[in-house]
Amino acid sequence: MKNSRRDFLKRTTVGALSLGVLDAELLRAAEQPTQSVPQVFAPKSLKPSTFAMDGISKKTMEEHHKLYVGYVTKSNEILDALKSVDLSKANQTYSALRALKVELTFAIGGVKNHEIYFDHLGGKGGKPEGRLLDQIVKDFGSYESWEKDLKATGLAARGWVWLAYDADRGTLFNYLGDAQNTFPIWNAVPILALDTYEHAYFLDYATDRKSYIEAFMRNLDWKVVEQRFAQIPNLK
């Protein structure tokens, strides 16, 4: 059972490679273990509304969700491995402790980023309202300027764009990430997450990321983003 699953994943991976759609995230998902470990993280299901979106297919969402579940599995596995790691062998060039702690940020990043992403999709687009709109206008000049910056940052990123609130400065900014764990800044809370990895759009748009970003905007549920913003502690 274990071997046949691995063989299937290997075949899928090779197939994806030949199509040119393989990215590092898909490779990592193919390496998911089958053993069970204690659950610290538990995967959330997709909302029904994400299966009927405008321009992002059900198939894309189903496959994307599988990658997310892989991050949940790996987060739990790494946290479990850390319980028995040999602290006396800690080393900055290579050590099990170092490897586990570095990859834990990638795995948990994959969980958190995708939960924001899936959670605020399935809506009808439009614009934010109330306090969030006020903050966007304050920090970007207008909603249109913010959107222009987000879309451009989406073309410049290799993994993610986050609209996040820097709780120290009291400002919103469109941060750019090349992977699940790059490049956050301390005490900035993400309220919107745009996945720009190829797996998020290749099935629907091939290399046309620009059209995917347009589709992402059309399906945003701003109420969810507004709620996430309102829940930030010490909002200035």
Question: Counting contacts by CB under 5 A, is residue 77 touching Fe ion?
Answer: no
Nearest alpha carbon to residue 210 among 194, 188, 222 = 194
Min dist. Cβ of residue 163 to Fe ion (A): 17
Q: Tell me whether residue 139 or residue 195 sits nearer to Fe ion (CB atom).
A: 195
The pair of structure tokens assigned to 52 is: 């009927």
In the structure encoding, which two tokens stand for residue 58, read together? 């059900």
Only one of the segments 50-58, 100-108, 189-197, 206-214 lies at the binding site for Fe ion (rule: CB under 5 A); that segment is 189-197
CA distances from 41 to 59, 67, 69, 78 (A): 25, 15, 10, 11
Q: Judged by CB under 5 A, does residue 221 bind Fe ion?
A: no
> CB-wise, 77 or 195, nearer to Fe ion?
195
Closest CA to 56 of 221, 207, 211: 211
Handedness of CA 10, 12, 15, 17 (dihedral sign): negative
- Binding flag, residue 195, Fe ion (CB under 5 A): yes
Q: How far apart are CA 125 and CA 139, in angstroms?
A: 21
- Least Å distance, CB 195 to Fe ion, is 4
198 belongs to the binding site for Fe ion (CB under 5 A): no
Query: Closest CB to Fe ion among 140 and 197?
Result: 197
Does residue 119 bind Fe ion (CB under 5 A)?
A: no
128 or 159: whose CB is closer to Fe ion? 159
Q: Could you list the residues that contact Fe ion (CB under 5 A)?
A: 195, 197
